[in-house]
Amino acid sequence: MSETEKLPTNPLVSVIIINFNGLDYILDCIDSVFKSNYANFEVILIDNNSTDGSSDKCKEKFPKITLIQNKKNLAMAARNKGIDVAKGDFVVFLDADTVVNSNWLDVLLDSYKKHGKGLYQGKLLKKDDPSIIESCGDMANIFSTGFARGRGQKDLNQFENFQKISFPVGACTFSSTQTFKEIGYVDESSLFFLMLDDLDYGWRGWLLNIPSYYEPKCVIYHVGSPILQWNSKKFFFMERNRLICLFSLYSKKTLFKIFPLLILYDMGVSLFLISKGMTFTKFKSTISFLGMLPSVLKRRKFIQSKRKLKDSDIIKNFVDGIDIPVDMNTDSSIFVSIVKKLNKMARKLV
């Protein structure tokens, strides 16, 4: 009997929200959840040692929530505590700066019942301008550069098809509790902290033959934090964590085959960033990664021991290109063309 066939008719959903000094938006987030049409859910708020009183205000306004207060900021690894205490048949992770539509849980549950085991994300639109896309399915290329598909574009219904994606956006990730436990905890080693922890998690799912899906009928409105704006801090974590993903998640055989192309890819990224003044940031991210290499290799050994799917099958769900963020305001056509060529060459080798 499949996992979906074992589901109760009215399954409990655990909504897990991570908060850190989110007083400006966390109340709106929880309020929108409590206005959901689907009634059988619990809300678990994990507070990452906030200092703005936001967690107390949440408990005061919404006494039904379960509040867990961490003694330090665990970033996205705080989600693990939520999984430990969740009572639901399903879990959905929400960022504190999101607002959900009233039918969101109905849509996600119906989609899961129809398509089965996997990690699901909805369509994310900008909260202050819902005509602008935040993410219509997160994607990655062969060299593990992750990006939010459609980010910054006008929503003209160009991404209205349910489909497999590379990984689900961390701001809204839904699945059965059993699936989350099968994939395991969000990385607790502090290797990631910021950026690409969602790419890592989705990729680890693919290694276990657990797909990621985009469900456009589930609409989420997202504020987005300052770290999501294009800057050197974001780029540092993205590049360092990209390398962590590469060297943790690909097989040795794949790494050996694509390594020369990876060097060319990184050289191309460095040249592209000269005009942005971030070449030194790229260098720092590489040095930081090398310092973490012993921990990465230890992590890699554990992850690879659980592998069920070949890299050649996994990368069918990756793309050859890259989306340059609109807020970079740059002519990137030549760079994107080179990226596509290198990815296509790498794909043939895997």
Mean pLDDT of 254-268: 96
- According to the model, what pLDDT value does residue 326 have? 59
- According to the model, what pLDDT value does residue 343 have? 97
What is the value of pTM for the model shown?
Answer: 0.93
Q: What is the CA radius of gyration of the chain?
A: 20
* Residues facing residue 90 across a β-bridge: 13, 176
Mean pLDDT of 84-111: 97
> Domain limits of the chain?
4-228, 232-349
273: left (phi over 0), alpha (psi -120 to 50) or beta: alpha
Handedness of CA 53, 56, 57, 58 (dihedral sign): positive
Both tokens of residue 35? 């206005």
Residue pair 22/98 in contact by the 8 Å Cβ criterion: no
Q: In a 10 Å sphere around its CB, with 0-12 CB exposed, 13-18 middle and 19+ buried, how is residue 118 labelled? A: buried
Name the DSSP class of 132.
Answer: B
| pLDDT band of 91, cuts 50, 70, 90 | very high
Residues 182-207 have pLDDT tens digits of 999 887 666 887 789 999 999 999 99
Write b or e for each residue in 121-155: b if 16 or more Cβ atoms lie within 10 A of its Cβ, otherwise e.
bbbbbbbeeeebbbbbbbbbbbbbbbbbbbbeeeb
Mean pLDDT of 32-49: 97
Q: Integer distance in angstroms from the first to the last C-alpha of the chain?
A: 34
* Residues facing residue 241 across a β-bridge: none
Q: How many CB atoms lie within 10 A of CB 286?
A: 15
> Which among 292, 111, 311, 103 has a CA at the least distance from the CA of 203?
311
Q: Under DSSP, is residue 279 helix (H, G, I), strand (E, B) or coil?
A: helix
Fold of domain 4-228: Spore Coat Polysaccharide Biosynthesis Protein SpsA; Chain A (3.90.550)
Both tokens of residue 330? 């740059």
Could you tell me how many helices (H) and strands (E) the chain has, helices first? 11, 12
| pLDDT band of 227, cuts 50, 70, 90 | very low
Residues 326-340 have pLDDT tens digits of 555 556 788 889 999
Q: Beta 212-222 vs 163-165: how paired, if at all?
A: antiparallel
- For the cut 80, the answer to whether the pLDDT of residue 4 exceeds it is no
How far apart CA 181 and CA 179 sit, in angstroms, is 5
Residue pair 245/198 in contact by the 8 Å Cβ criterion: no
CA dihedral defined by 175, 89, 193, 235, rounded to 10 degrees? 20
